[in-house]
């Protein structure tokens, strides 16, 4: 084995969460080494939603001005029935929304956000970035950890941050060998020039069409030059360990009977790749020795609340802050980080799953959903306060009553939590 390179902090994963963690800790004066298994630092995907809680984190990461230059700030969230075309409900996200939460609601291209975080890390003398480093083994040494890569590179770190995503090797070390949970839904996504879009396309709205076991989300990105679309549906051909499901033919069969604007949008959605929908049950612990999880490695969630990247950004800021507040006591800092984040992110995970069930309802359940949503006052934001108004640095730990409320429904022996509305 080659001599291990000694690093104070090693971040495994160069995605949004990993780069945000490196940026956050460098702003606290810590030296950080980031390793990424891909040949280059890049991000796959298209559009990304950034709720006020994410913008609050980006402000603390000192990249908000750069993000604003590329983002779009819609004035409303519009929910429509994908079958009838009827408006179900609207959430105005203008000045009153911004005043309540301190920041607006933004949408942007995922690669743009990643690029801004990457540039910020590259500009810092405290951050080192390495590619082609696929982690194959992590050894917990109590007050340190040893990380070995496929090419023989080894790192001896005082702290290892596992930001290695849904299929995290770091998470396995903490005792979770179970595979991610497939929801049997797939997404087709992509961007097209604004000029190619239907009459509902524009910079002022983010549109969500919901229908039986499907939904379509549309919004502008990259300063309004592109239009992002995500078409999601449940495949009834799903089989574990098979890739022959959620096909383009199923996509067309599912969307063709829907409203004409949904059908028209289908013609411009990319079909070269599909994304299967996965999450995992909340973990009891994110920490082992000097090894800690962050982002999707800690709490992968379904996309239905658009909070995956938002929660990873909150994690990054929180981890750096509580390590700093704990001075030289790393163990105490990691405990404070976990206490501040674990219950809240579990609530986001479970609410995302519940909201997916609501949006994809069929028959009488869908009629009941539409009727209830139409009754809500568009200016009533109270349902969003727990999420968009949450500041993990202001309240380090969820109350005991919330913890019991969200975690007491764990199924015996499965480490799973039943869906529970937010």
Which is nearest to 282 in space by CA: 342, 338, 357, 336?
342
- Bridge partners (DSSP) of residue 287 are 292
Q: How confident is the model at residue 271 (pLDDT cuts 50, 70, 90)?
A: confident
For position 401, what pLDDT does the model report?
A: 46
Decide yes or no: CATH 3.50.50.60 for domain 5-45+111-179+281-359+383-417: yes
Average pLDDT in the chain = 90
SS (H, E, C) 31-77: CEEEECCCCCCCCCCCEEEECHHHHHHHHHCCCHHHHHHHCECCCEE
For 300-355, how does the pLDDT look when each residue is reduced to its tens digit (9 = 90+)? 999 999 999 999 999 999 999 999 999 889 999 999 999 999 999 999 999 999 99
Token output for 19 = 């780069």
Quote the CA–CA distance of 393 and 24 in Å, as a whole number.
13
pLDDT at 7 over 90: yes
With a CB cutoff of 8 Å and minimum separation 6, the contacts of 383 are 376, 422
For 190-213, how does the pLDDT look when each residue is reduced to its tens digit (9 = 90+)? 888 887 765 655 668 899 999 999
Which is nearest to 245 in space by CA: 183, 333, 307, 294?
183
Q: Is 416 helix (H, G, I), strand (E, B) or coil?
A: strand
Q: How far is CA 28 from the centre of its chain?
A: 24
Cβ–Cβ contacts within 10 Å for residue 294, how many?
Answer: 30
Which is nearest to 279 in space by CA: 249, 312, 301, 304?
301
For position 224, what pLDDT does the model report?
A: 86
Q: Is 281 helix (H, G, I), strand (E, B) or coil?
A: coil
Which of 19-28, 65-74, 203-212, 387-396 has the weakest average pLDDT? 387-396
With a CB cutoff of 8 Å and minimum separation 6, the contacts of 371 are none
Quote the CA–CA distance of 27 and 330 in Å, as a whole number.
17
pLDDT at 51 over 60: yes
With a CB cutoff of 8 Å and minimum separation 6, the contacts of 99 are none
For position 395, what pLDDT does the model report?
A: 62
Kindly report the pTM of this predicted structure.
0.92
For position 420, what pLDDT does the model report?
A: 29
**C-beta of residue 31 within 8 angstroms of C-beta of residue 10:** no
Q: Which residues are catalytic?
A: 219
**C-beta of residue 298 within 8 angstroms of C-beta of residue 282:** no
Q: 172-177: long-range contacts (C-beta < 8 A, 24 or more apart)?
A: 173/138, 173/140, 173/288, 173/291, 174/283, 174/285, 174/286, 174/287, 174/288, 174/291, 174/293, 175/288, 176/280, 176/283, 176/415
From the CA atom positions of the chain, what is the Rg in Å? 21
Which is nearest to 230 in space by CA: 418, 48, 392, 89?
48
* Alpha-carbon distances of 219 from 78, 115, 248, rounded to whole Å: 10, 20, 22
With a CB cutoff of 8 Å and minimum separation 6, the contacts of 272 are none
pLDDT at 28 over 50: yes
Task: Please compute the mean of the pLDDT values over residues 385-403 and round it to a whole number.
Answer: 73
Q: How confident is the model at residue 55 (pLDDT cuts 50, 70, 90)?
A: very high
Task: Please compute the mean of the pLDDT values over residues 42-62 and round it to a whole number.
Answer: 93
**C-beta of residue 199 within 8 angstroms of C-beta of residue 72:** no
Task: Please compute the mean of the pLDDT values over residues 250-265 and round it to a whole number.
Answer: 93
pLDDT at 422 over 60: no
For position 187, what pLDDT does the model report?
A: 95
For position 416, what pLDDT does the model report?
A: 35
Domain ranges of the chain: 5-45+111-179+281-359+383-417
Q: What are phi and psi of 31, to 5 degrees?
A: -80, 135
User: How do 205-211 and 47-50 pair as beta strands?
Assistant: unpaired
Which is nearest to 8 in space by CA: 150, 144, 137?
144
CA angle 199, 201, 203 (to 5 degrees): 135
User: How do 226-234 and 214-221 pair as beta strands?
Assistant: antiparallel
CA angle 63, 68, 71 (to 5 degrees): 125
Query: What percentage of the chain reaches a pLDDT higher than 70?
Result: 91
With a CB cutoff of 8 Å and minimum separation 6, the contacts of 210 are 79, 80, 81, 82, 88, 359, 360
């Amino acid at each position: 084995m080659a001599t291990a390179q000694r690093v104070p902090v090693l971040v495994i994963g160069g995605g949004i969460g990993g780069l945000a963690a490196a940026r956050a800790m460098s702003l606290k004066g810590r030296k950080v080494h980031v390793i990424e298994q891909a040949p280059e630092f890049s991000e796959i995907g298209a559009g990304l939603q950034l709720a006020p809680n994410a913008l609050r984190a980006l402000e603390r990461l000192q990249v908000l001005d750069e993000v604003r230059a590329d983002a779009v700030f819609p004035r409303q969230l519009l929910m429509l029935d994908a079958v009838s075309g009827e408006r179900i409900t609207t959430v105005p996200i203008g000045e009153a929304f911004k005043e309540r939460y301190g920041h607006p609601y933004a949408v942007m291209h995922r690669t743009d956000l990643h690029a801004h975080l990457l540039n910020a890390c590259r500009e810092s003398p405290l951050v080192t970035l390495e590619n082609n480093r696929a982690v194959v083994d992590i050894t917990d040494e109590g007050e340190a950890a040893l990380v070995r890569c496929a090419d023989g590179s080894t790192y001896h770190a005082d702290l290892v941050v596992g930001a290695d995503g849904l299929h995290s090797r770091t998470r396995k070390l903490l005792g979770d060998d179970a595979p991610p949970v497939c929801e049997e839904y797939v997404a087709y996504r992509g961007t097209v020039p604004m000029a190619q879009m239907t009459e509902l396309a524009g910079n002022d709205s983010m549109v969500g069409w919901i229908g039986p076991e499907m939904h379509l989300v549309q919004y502008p990105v990259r300063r309004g030059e592109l239009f992002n679309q995500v078409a999601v549906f449940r495949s009834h051909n799903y089989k574990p360990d098979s890739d022959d499901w959620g096909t383009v033919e199923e996509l067309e069969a599912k969307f063709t009977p829907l409203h004409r604007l949904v059908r028209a949008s289908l013609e411009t959605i990319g079909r070269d790749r599909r994304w299967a929908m996965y999450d995992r049950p909340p973990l009891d612990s994110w920490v082992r020795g000097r090894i800690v999880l962050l982002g999707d490695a800690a709490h992968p969630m379904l996309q239905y609340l658009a909070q995956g990247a938002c929660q990873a950004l909150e994690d990054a800021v929180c981890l750096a802050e509580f390590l700093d507040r704990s001075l030289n006591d790393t163990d105490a800092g990691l405990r404070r980080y976990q206490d501040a984040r674990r219950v809240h992110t579990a609530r986001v995970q479970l609410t995302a799953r519940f909201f997916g069930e609501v949006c994809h309802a069929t028959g009488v359940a869908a009629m009941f959903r539409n009727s209830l949503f139409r009754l809500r006052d568009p200016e009533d934001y109270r349902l969003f306060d727990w999420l968009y108004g949450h500041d993990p640095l202001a309240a380090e730990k969820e109350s005991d009553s919330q913890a019991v409320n969200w975690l007491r429904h764990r199924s015996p022996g499965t480490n799973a939590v039943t869906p529970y509305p937010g």
